[in-house]
Amino acid sequence: MDTAGRADRRTDGSGGADADEGADANTGGSAPAGAEPVRLVRLDLRTPEAALLRRAVLRHRLPPGQRGHVRPPVTTLPAADADPARTPFAVTVSGLPVADAAAARAACAGFGVLDRAVHARDLVPDPARAVLLRAFYLTTAWQGRGVGRAVCSAPLLDRLAADVAPHATELVLCVNEANHVAAHVYRAAGFAPTGHRFLDAQGEAQLVMTRPLAAGA
């Protein structure tokens, strides 16, 4: 039973936190991951920085270990652009907005999508109060450096969620059951398994994990 499909055709995976771990979503503030200031930059906004980062994420190639767990941005970014319920974002490791293509490529550590149209009760009991993290990954160079945990922990992702889905009180994601490293990172960021599992479109088991969104983040 592909309940991810019923949620929104597919979760697109959230497997790229591999090895560790965010962000102001252009709404203010950044967070250090180790020594690196991490920001989340919305890619649905018409800003010079967003334009540069959109080009940067489209150059990303997922490492072999992630290709079975998450779709690449060449697929998921256009899908987000076509769906008003989805907000794509870039993960950057720069305390200041990037100003040119080289800086964007150097600073862009990953990508993700927040989807406020969670329809399936198989994922969470109250879909109307949830927002789904999907298509999330980090590039190989930024894994194991605390970036993934910083993105997925409060308050960074919570700020972005409050901006795009102010009704939401819960963050939900689905992770491949075999992706133990990513699941460990999500647990460290405050996510807990709900006990629900489902088979994705490829027939692979997915775990559903959730955490409450921080109020006033």
158 lies in some domain: yes
217 lies in some domain: no
Q: Is residue 208 predicted with pLDDT exceeding 80?
A: yes
- What confidence tens digit (pLDDT) does each residue in 87-97 have? 999 999 988 89
What pLDDT is attached to residue 190? 96
- What confidence tens digit (pLDDT) does each residue in 143-164 have? 889 999 999 999 999 999 999 9
Total domains, the chain:
1
68 lies in some domain: yes
Domain of 96?
3-212
- Who contacts 163 (Cβ-Cβ below 8 Å, separation ≥6)? 25, 27, 42
What pLDDT is attached to residue 68? 65
With contact defined as beta carbons under 8 Å apart, do 199 and 11 qualify? no
Strand, helix or coil for residue 181: helix
115 lies in some domain: yes
**pTM of this structure:** 0.84
116 lies in some domain: yes
Report the pLDDT averaged over residues 101-128. 92
What is the CATH classification number for the domain harbouring 21? Answer: 3.40.630.30
Position 200 confidence tier, pLDDT thresholds 50, 70, 90: confident
**Helices and strands counted in the chain (H then E):** 8, 8
- Who contacts 51 (Cβ-Cβ below 8 Å, separation ≥6)? none
Instruction: State the Cα–Cα distance between residues 137 and 7, nearest whole angstrom.
Output: 20
What pLDDT is attached to residue 13? 65
Give Dmax over CA atoms of the chain in angstroms.
Answer: 46
128 lies in some domain: yes
Helices (H), the chain: 3-8, 48-58, 64-67, 73-81, 101-107, 147-152, 156-164, 180-188
